[in-house]
Amino acid sequence: MDDRLSQACRLTRLRAGEPAERREDWLAREEPLQLRLNGRDYSVLMRTPGHDRQLALGHLLAEGVISGVDEVLDMVRCAEDEALRGNSLDVILAPGCEVDWPAQSRASASTSSCGVCGKTSIEAVLARRCLPPLGPALQVPAALLTALPEALRQAQPTFAQTGGLHACALFSGGGELLALREDVGRHNALDKLIGWALQEGRWPCSEAILLLSGRVSFEMMQKAAACGVGLVAAISAPSSLAVQFAEQSGQTLVAFLRAGSMNVYTHPQRVVEAGA
C-alpha cells in the first residue's frame, strides 16, 4: 500500500455489550502543499500527498492562471523550508505568462466565502474562463454508465483501506478506465486528474466520461468544463448551482448513479436508453 496516501493509527473500538478493543486502523493522509508561482506564495492546498505536480497543473488550469501545459517551464520542490518537509512546490511559468495577482486574490476570497450565486455569476464565470469546446456530442448507453461505480470501487484500494478518500476518474466512451485520482479533497482529486490529462496530452477530454465518487458542486462542474468534459456522472447528489452551471455550459450532468438507475439533470441527449 502506498504510504503517501495513508498512515496507521491506534484506536479503541467500542461496541455495545462487548469489552473495549485496542486495534490498528488506517487513516487517509492529509498534509498541506504550499504552492508558489515564480517564487511567490500563491496558495496552500490541504491534500493527500502524491501526484503533486498534476495537482498543481490542474489547479492552475482550472483557476485560469494557465491555459495549457506549455505555459509551465518547470516545477521545483522547495527543500530549504524544513517546516514544510518537502510539501512546497514552486511552479516556474514561461516568459509572457503573467499572473494577475489582484484578480487571483479576489477569486480566492470569492471561493472561500461562497461568492458565486445564481445565473449572473455563472455567466460571468463562463465568460472569463478560456474553456475548451466540449466537442462532438458523446453518446453513452445508460447501461454502461450504471456499471462505472463498481469499476471505480475496484480501482480504489486506498479507499477500501481507509474509507476516507474522494475519487475522480476518467473513462472512455466505451467504459475503459483511463485514469483515477484519490484525495481527501474532492476538488484536489479532480485537479490531479486534469493535471494528468495535461501531462499525457489528453486535454481537452471531450471524448471522456468523468465519474465523481461524491456530490457535485458548482466548482466541480466548472473544473470539468475546464477539462472539456461534456458528460459528468456522480454517485451522490448535485447542488442547485451545479445543475444551473451544467445547463448553461452545455454539459450533461448525471447524479445518484446506481446499478440500474440514475437521474439525468441536463442535456440528456448524451445518455442513450436501451432500445432507443
Catalytic residues: 114
The H-assigned helical ranges of the chain are 52-62, 101-112, 118-128, 142-154, 157-162, 186-199, 218-226, 240-249
Q: Quick one: which H or E segment has residue 74?
A: strand 72-77
Cα–Cα distance measured from residue 28 to residue 33, given in angstroms and rounded to the nearest whole number: 16
Cα–Cα distance measured from residue 249 to residue 216, given in angstroms and rounded to the nearest whole number: 15
Cα–Cα distance measured from residue 93 to residue 76, given in angstroms and rounded to the nearest whole number: 11
Q: Quick one: which H or E segment has residue 81?
A: none
Q: Grid coordinates representing 107?
A: 477569486
